[in-house]
Each structure stands twice: as C-alpha cells, then as structure tokens.
Structure 1
Amino acid sequence: MSKKCIKCGQLLPDNASFCPHCTAVQKEKQEIKAPKRWRKAALGAAVVVVLLTAVGAAFSLHHRPKSYEGGAQVVYTDKGKSYKLLLNFSEDDGVTGHAQGERTDTLAQGMESALPCQLYVLDQETGELAWEEFTKKVDSCKVDAKPGENSRKVDYVEPVHNESFPNAAYVSDIIYTSDSGTNDILWNLTMKNGDTISLSTRLTIEKQAAVTCFSEDTPMETTEELNALLASIEEEVSSETPVYLHLPAVTYDGDIVFGNHVWGIYGSSDGDDVTTFTGTVSLRGLNGNYAEMSGIQFKGNSGIGVNAYCLTLLSQCSFDGWDTAAIANNGAWVNAMDCTFINNKIALKFNSSMAYGTAPNYLNNTFTGNGTAVCIENLPGNEVLDFAGSTFSENDVDIDNKAEHSVDTAKANFETASE
C-alpha cells in the first residue's frame, strides 16, 4: 500500500476509491466549466446572414431591369399593372387593340411617300387607352429600320406624340421610295425604372408600273389634245396604274376631267409662260386613288378651280379669281403647301364627311384678299389642320370653321391691312 487517504492520511490500496477509516472519497474535485454559448450564437448569426442574402438576392432579382421583346405586340407590367403595347399603321385598328405585324403597299417607280407608324398603349385589363399614364414612365423612345435583302433602308422621323393621331402614344413617319423593298421597323423604349421594351413591324413596298407622258413626245399642247390623251388613258390604262403627266407651259381653256387613276400632274414654265388652267379641273380618283398637282396656275372669273373627289395634294400652285379655288367633296381631302390664293370668294373649302386619305399639314401658303380663306363645313377624322408658316392677310374671314374641326394656327402669320 502506497496510497494515502487524501483526508486522514491512512495507507490505502492503490485502487481504493474511498477511505474505510474516514469514508472520504478519494477522487479530487474538478471544476466543471459551463458550456460555451458562442458556438450557438455563431450558428444563429450564420443562419441570419444566409437568410438576408437570400432575401437580398430575391429583392434584387425582383427589381432588376427587365427586357420585354415581341413582334408588333407586347404586354408590359410595372407595379402590378399591365399595359398592352402594339404597333399599327391604322388608327381605327390601333384604338381597338389590333396589332399590325406587316403591311404591303405599292408605289410607282421613282415616287416617294410616307406612312405614320403608330404605337398604341391600352390597359391590359380594361382595354381602355392608357398612353398618357404609360408615357410618364418612359425615359426614351427610339425607332430604327432594318432593310431586308436587296432592299434599301427607309428614312424615318423620330417618334413623338402627334396631335394628328391623338389616341397614339407615339407616331413615327416612315418615308419610303419605290425601291425600299422590305424593312423591319424597330421600336425600342427605355423606361425610367431601367426596363426595356422592343417591338417591330414589317413594311414592304412593291414597285408598281406607271405611265409617264412628256410634252416632248406626247401631243398635249391644246385642251383638245389633252382631253384626247386623257380619254385614251381611261380606255387603255388600268385604274390601278399611276399616270404622270409633265405638261407644257401653255394655257388650257375649258373644263378638264382627270379620271380614276393615281395622278401626278406637273406644270412647267417657259419664260413668262406657265402651265395654266382657266376652266374647272375635276379629279375623279376613286377608292384610294389620289392626285398630285404641282407648279400650275389656276386663273378664273368664277366657278370652281379644282373640284376634288379624291385626296388631292397641291404644291407650288396659284389660284386667282374663283368663286371657290379648291373644294374637297365627299370622299375627298384637299391639301395645299407653298400655294398662293388671291382674290377668291373662297380659297379652300371642305365639305366631306369621309375621305380615302388625309394630309393635314397646310404649310407656307399665302391667303390674300379672299372673301373667306378657309371654309370648313364638314371634315372627317380628328387630324389637326396645321397652318404653320402660312400667311393670312386682307381676307374678310380667315378661317370659317363651321364644323369646329381642330385647327392649329399658332405658327401662322395674320397681317392687317395697315401692315
């Protein structure tokens, strides 16, 4: 025995766990330490970090800028509200929610024309127009064109809200020629929250054959020769074929009727002589055919100068001495740009409840000494007639707007007799 009791000192066996003399337990007391709580705290913190990271990632994914891509129609959602965006070349279809993914038009060789590509925005749930609310969310709206194989890129005007198409959010005029072929019209919107929206529509222009007559090789020096030429055109040329006449610098007496075609009627000058009509010129294009007249004088003593039954575009023409210089009858629309109207009882008159085409910009005209410069009895649509750059002077009445049609004269000039 070599082991001693830790209390009384008596010798004990080596393996004794207590002393038989004093009954003392022979194991030394050891300090029992409380378990460390930092491990549990660290584990809880790690869980919180993971949760916060997951929430942050979910928040970031939810609020990350989104891209919306489609053809002529896209549904865009922001702050729980959905908007239906669509492209169209027709206002009637646009306001009723019908997108136009492609359009094909024909144009005679060598000609240039334009179409308004329109972006409409409707409330996805109600179908009501919502462009005013939507455009407040837009940072920028851009248009581009991508020509197809063997096609030429069309020109375009950057999109804006156009009062001539008050129901559309944005309008871009697409300017094309007979050689434009096929172009994809690409719209790209960037929203203030960083979202992007892409839409597209396809415009195809097919070249159309045309009949072109020049005075150098076609008899049209007199009223009789011109009427004979027009009669042969009506008999031999399809109404779907445009006809372009380059008239000599002569005076045509008597009434002349241009029938159912697309017409390009171009005057000329030779010294003091200018292509002149002294009788009524009637334009009878039907079902979308139209007429363009340029560089011609209309001199009368009474009656009507231009009697239009189709869309008629007048440029660089002058009218003097008519009861009514130019009138748009039912189914027609008369436009004038860079024209002069002097000493007519009525210069421009509109009396049409429907039209196959419209052209509301009346730029840089001169209305002087007329009884009434512009008389609007009836006019279809809601396009705003814009007289920017036009001058009204010494007329008894500048604009007699019986139909209460929308007219913009903010950039027109009104002069009094003293001026």
Structure 2
Amino acid sequence: MSKKCVKCGQPLPDNASFCPHCTAVQTEKQEVKAPKRWKKAALSVAAVLVIVAAVGAAFSLHHRPKSYEGGAQVVYTDKGKSYKVLLSFSESDGVTGHAQGERTDTLAQGMQSALPCQLYVLDQETGELAWEEFSEKVESCKVDTKPGENSQKAEYIEPIHNESFLNAAYVSDIIYSSDSGTNDILWNLTMKNGDTISLSTRLTIEKQAAVTYFSEDTPMETTEELNALLASIEEEVPSETPVYLHLSAVTYDGDVVFGNHVWGIYGSADGDDATTFTGTVSMRGLNGNYAEFSGIQFKGNSGIGLNAYCLVLLSQCSFDGWDTAAIANNGAWVNATDCTFTNNNIALKFNSNMAYGTSPSYLNNTFTENGTAVCIDNLPGNEVLDFAGSIFSGNDTDIDNKTEHSVDTAKATFE
C-alpha cells in the first residue's frame, strides 16, 4: 500500500475513500460553479432578434415600392384606394373610362400633324374622375415613343395638365408625319411613394398618296389658269386624295375657291415678288378634309381674305387691308403660326360651332394696326387659345372675346 491518509498518515489501500483510523475523507473537494446566466440571456436576445427580423421582412415586403404594368389601362392602389388609370386619344372615351389601346389615322403624303394622347384617372369604385387627388401622389410623368419596324420615331411633347383637356390628368401631343408608320406611345409614372406605373398605346399612321403640281410644269401663272386647274382637279382627282400646289411668285386677282380635298398650298418668292391673292380665297373642304397655306400674301381693299369652312392651317402668311382677314365659319377652324395681320378691320374671326383640339396654339404672330385683332363671336369647346410669342400693337381692340372662351396671353406682348 502506497497511499497514506491525508490526515493521520496511516497507510491505506489505493482505492480507499476514507481512513479507518481517523475516518477522514480521502477525496478532494471540488468547487461547484453556478450556471452562467448570460448564456440564457443571449439565447433570449437571439430569439427576439429572429422575431424582429421576421416582422421587419414582412413589413418591408408589404411596403416596398410596387410596379404596375399594363397596356392602355391599369388599376393602381395606394392607401386602400384604387384608381383606374388609362390612356385615350378621345376625351369622351377617357371620361367614361374606356381605354384606347390603338388608333389608326391616315395622313396625306408629306404632311405633318399632331394628336393629343391623354391620361385619365377615375375612382375604381365610383367611376368618378379623380385626377386631382391622384396627381398629388405623382412625382414625375414621362412619355416616349418607340417606332415599329420600317417606321419613323414620332416626336412628342412632355406630358402636362393641359387646360384644353380639363378632365385629363396629363396630355402629351404626339407629333407625326405621313412616314411615321406605327409607334408605341409609352407612359411612365413615378409616384412619391416609389411605386411605378407603366402604360402604352399604339398609333399607326397610314400614308395617303398625294398628287403634286409644280408651276414649272403646270400652267398656273394667272387666276384663269389656276381656276382651270382647280376645276380639273375636282373632276379628275378623288376627293380623298390630297393635292399639293407649289405656286409661282405671281399675283392672283379675283376670287379663288378650293374644293373638297386635303390641300397643301405653298407660295414662293422671287426678289420683291411673292405669291399673292387679292380676292377672297374660299376653302370648302368636307368630310374632315383640311388645308395648309404656307408663304402666301393676302392683300385686299375690303371683303374677306380667307373664308374657311374646314380646318385651315396658316404658316408664314400675311394679311393686309381686309374687312375680315381670316374667318372660321361653322364647322371650321383657322390656326395661324408666324403670320402677320396688318391694317384689317378684323384680323382673325371665329364664328364656328366646331372645335379642333389639336390646333389651339397661335404662336409668334404679329397683329398690328387692326380694328380688332382677334374676334370670338362663337366658339365651343375647352381649347385654350394660346398666343405665346405673339405681338399685339396699335390695335383698337386686341381681343374681343364675346363668348368668354379660354384665352392665354401670358406669354404674348402688348404694345
């Protein structure tokens, strides 16, 4: 035996746990440590963090920005309220909630035109217009055009709320030519809460073949020759075929009547000479036909310079010495850009029961020494006549607005 008692020193068996001599316990006492509480606390914190993370993830998934994509119409929901958002080229369709996914128009070869693409917003539950409250949620609204195969990209004006279309949230004028073909009109809205809305509609322009006459190879140097040509056009050219006349720098005396076609009438200049009409020019297009006059002088001593019974677009023309320089009769509209009206009793007169929403801008015109520059006897519709860049100088009356039609002269100059 090699083991001895830890207390009295007596020899003991190797496996003895106490001493028979003094009864002393032979095993060493070991300190028993209490369990550490931080481990339990750590486990509790970890569990809480897992729960918080799960709740946060659920909250994030519920509130993260959403993307709404559709064709010409989507239903957008924010804060428990749903809105029908749609595109249309027609105001009557827009206010009644009918989206327009595509539209096809015809345009005469070589011509350019514009069409207002409109975005409407209605309360999904009641069907009432809701563009005002919806617009307050919008951070930005953008438009783009995407041409199809063998098509040309249509131009566009960035969307705004247009006073001429009071019921629409936004309007973008799509500017196209006869060669535009098919374009997708893409709208993208970014909301203040980060949501995005994508809409699209399609505009297809079909080119209408035209007949063109040049003064170099067609007799039209006098009023008689011009009237003879117009008579032959009425007999030989179908009314749906556009007709373009490129006139010489000559003066046409006497009255001239243009019949039922789409017309492009272009003047020219040669030194001090320019294409000039001294008699009344009447434009009698029917069935939606229209006319464009460019670079023409209208010089008179009385009477009417331009008598319009359809849509007439004037650019870089001048009117001098008429009782009424240009009048839009019932069913007609006269638009003028970069034109000059001087020494007329009435320069531009509206007496029509028809409105043309695509031509309300009267940009960069000059009205000088007229009795009345603009006279509005009768004109329906919500179009705002915008005279941005125009100059009114020395007129007895600048604008005689008898019907209190909407007119914007904020960017016009009055001298």
TM-score (norm 1): 0.87
1:4 aligned residue:
none
CA distance in 1, matches of 2:387, 2:117: 23
TM-align CA RMSD? 2.0
1:392 aligned residue:
392
Q: What amino acid does structure 2 have at the position aligned with 1:224?
A: E
Deviation at 1:264, TM superposition (A): 0.6
CA distance in 1, matches of 2:166, 2:214: 42
1:161 aligned residue:
161
Deviation at 1:277, TM superposition (A): 0.9
Moved more, 349-358 or 199-208: 349-358
Once the two structures are superposed, residues 227-267 of structure 1 have per-residue CA deviations (whole angstroms, 9 ceiling, x without a partner) of 11111111111111111101111111111111111111111
- SS of equivalent residue, structure 1 residue 59: helix
TM-score (norm 2): 0.88
2:105 aligned residue:
105
Deviation at 1:65, TM superposition (A): 0.6
Deviation at 1:388, TM superposition (A): 1.1
1:18 aligned residue:
none
1:371 aligned residue:
371
CA distance in 2, matches of 1:219, 1:268: 16
Alpha-carbon contact 1:243-1:262 (below 8 Å) kept: yes
Matches within 5 A, 1:353-364: 353-355=353-355, 358-364=358-364
2:211 aligned residue:
211
- SS of equivalent residue, structure 1 residue 330: coil
1:28 aligned residue:
none
2:198 aligned residue:
198
Alpha-carbon contact 1:310-1:356 (below 8 Å) kept: no
2:383 aligned residue:
383
CA distance in 2, matches of 1:260, 1:363: 28
CA distance in 1, matches of 2:261, 2:357: 14
Matches within 5 A, 1:215-254: 215-254=215-254
2:348 aligned residue:
348
Q: What amino acid does structure 2 have at the position aligned with 1:293?
A: F
Once the two structures are superposed, residues 114-140 of structure 1 have per-residue CA deviations (whole angstroms, 9 ceiling, x without a partner) of 212111111112222221211111111
Say whether 1:409 aligns with 2:409.
yes
Once the two structures are superposed, residues 179-198 of structure 1 have per-residue CA deviations (whole angstroms, 9 ceiling, x without a partner) of 22111111111111111110
Gaps of 5+ in 2: 1-33
CA distance in 1, matches of 2:210, 2:74: 40
Matches within 5 A, 1:129-208: 129-208=129-208
Deviation at 1:52, TM superposition (A): 3.2
Alpha-carbon distance change, 358 to 139 in structure 1, aligned in 2, over 3 angstroms: closer
- SS of equivalent residue, structure 1 residue 54: helix
Deviation at 1:142, TM superposition (A): 1.3
Deviation at 1:349, TM superposition (A): 0.4
Q: What amino acid does structure 2 have at the position aligned with 1:155?
A: E
Deviation at 1:203, TM superposition (A): 0.9
Matches within 5 A, 1:218-297: 218-297=218-297
Once the two structures are superposed, residues 370-407 of structure 1 have per-residue CA deviations (whole angstroms, 9 ceiling, x without a partner) of 11110001112111111111111111111000010011
Once the two structures are superposed, residues 36-92 of structure 1 have per-residue CA deviations (whole angstroms, 9 ceiling, x without a partner) of 999998887666545433322221111011010000001100001111111111222
2:81 aligned residue:
81
Gaps of 5+ in 1: 1-33
CA distance in 2, matches of 1:358, 1:54: 55
CA distance in 2, matches of 1:134, 1:303: 52
Matches within 5 A, 1:37-52: 48-52=48-52
Once the two structures are superposed, residues 1-58 of structure 1 have per-residue CA deviations (whole angstroms, 9 ceiling, x without a partner) of xxxxxxxxxxxxxxxxxxxxxxxxxxxxxxxxx9999999888766654543332222
Alpha-carbon contact 2:255-2:280 (below 8 Å) kept: yes
- SS of equivalent residue, structure 2 residue 160: coil
Moved more, 141-150 or 352-361: 352-361
Moved more, 284-293 or 396-405: 284-293
Matches within 5 A, 1:1-80: 48-80=48-80
Moved more, 253-262 or 64-73: 253-262
CA distance in 1, matches of 2:358, 2:154: 22
Deviation at 1:315, TM superposition (A): 1.0
CA distance in 2, matches of 1:256, 1:92: 38
Alpha-carbon distance change, 355 to 136 in structure 1, aligned in 2, over 3 angstroms: closer
Moved more, 197-206 or 173-182: 173-182
Moved more, 140-149 or 65-74: 140-149
CA distance in 2, matches of 1:226, 1:369: 32
CA distance in 1, matches of 2:277, 2:336: 17
| Number of aligned positions between the proteins | 383
1:91 aligned residue:
91
Deviation at 1:162, TM superposition (A): 2.0
Alpha-carbon distance change, 119 to 333 in structure 1, aligned in 2, over 3 angstroms: same
Share of identical aligned residues, percent?
88
CA distance in 1, matches of 2:83, 2:357: 30
Alpha-carbon distance change, 277 to 346 in structure 1, aligned in 2, over 3 angstroms: same
Q: What amino acid does structure 2 have at the position aligned with 1:57?
A: A
CA distance in 2, matches of 1:75, 1:39: 53
Alpha-carbon contact 1:324-1:346 (below 8 Å) kept: yes
Alpha-carbon contact 2:339-2:365 (below 8 Å) kept: yes
Alpha-carbon contact 1:69-1:198 (below 8 Å) kept: yes
- SS of equivalent residue, structure 2 residue 398: strand
